[in-house]
């Protein structure tokens, strides 16, 4: 059974180095110092979010529905992945568009409890 390669040390949380590659077909082994792709360094939760994000083609409303989370939480998870990939986040503090929240509430896209949380800036 093959397992996914770890990118982060489970003991200290630092990046792991790959030092050996093996071919399961011809049994060739290659030793050296290799880097992992950026996506290998994401946590399982971050990888799952990226998969859901891509599957839904970045449609935040669909991501909210599938994961059962609010708009600010989707944005925070996206910013977390962006940071983990080594890019500086551009989105830091969610700016609440009161009109958008009220429109979403009137359309039935969110509950009154979700609207209150959004207006208060909670996740």
Q: Is residue 36 located within the same domain as residue 84?
A: no
The C-alpha atoms of residue 38 and residue 54 are separated, in whole angstroms, by 16
Domain containing 2: what range? 1-41
At residue 92, the pLDDT reads 55
Count how many domains the chain has.
Answer: 2
Same domain, 19 and 1: yes
Same domain, 93 and 69: yes
pLDDT given for residue 31 in this prediction:
95
pLDDT grade for 8, boundaries at 50, 70 and 90: confident
Query: Tens digit of pLDDT for each residue in 61-108?
Result: 999 999 999 999 999 999 999 998 988 866 555 567 788 888 888 988
| Domain co-membership, 52 together with 106 | yes
Unique residue bearing structure tokens 């060739």 = 28
Instruction: Outline where 5-111 has alpha helix (H).
Output: 44-55, 60-67, 71-84, 98-106
Residues 61 and 33 in one domain: no
């Amino acid at each position: 059974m093959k397992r996914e390669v770890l990118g982060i040390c489970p003991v200290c949380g630092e990046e792991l180095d790959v030092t050996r590659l093996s071919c399961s077909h011809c049994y060739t082994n290659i030793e050296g110092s290799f880097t992992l792709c950026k996506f290998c360094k994401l946590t399982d939760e971050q990888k799952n979010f990226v998969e859901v994000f891509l599957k839904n083609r970045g449609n935040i409303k669909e991501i909210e529905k599938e994961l059962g989370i609010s708009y600010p939480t989707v944005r925070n998870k996206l910013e977390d992945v962006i940071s983990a990939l080594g890019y500086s986040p551009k989105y830091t503090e969610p700016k609440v568009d009161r009109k958008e929240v009220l429109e979403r509430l009137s359309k039935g896209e969110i509950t009154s409890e979700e609207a209150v949380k959004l207006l208060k800036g909670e996740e």
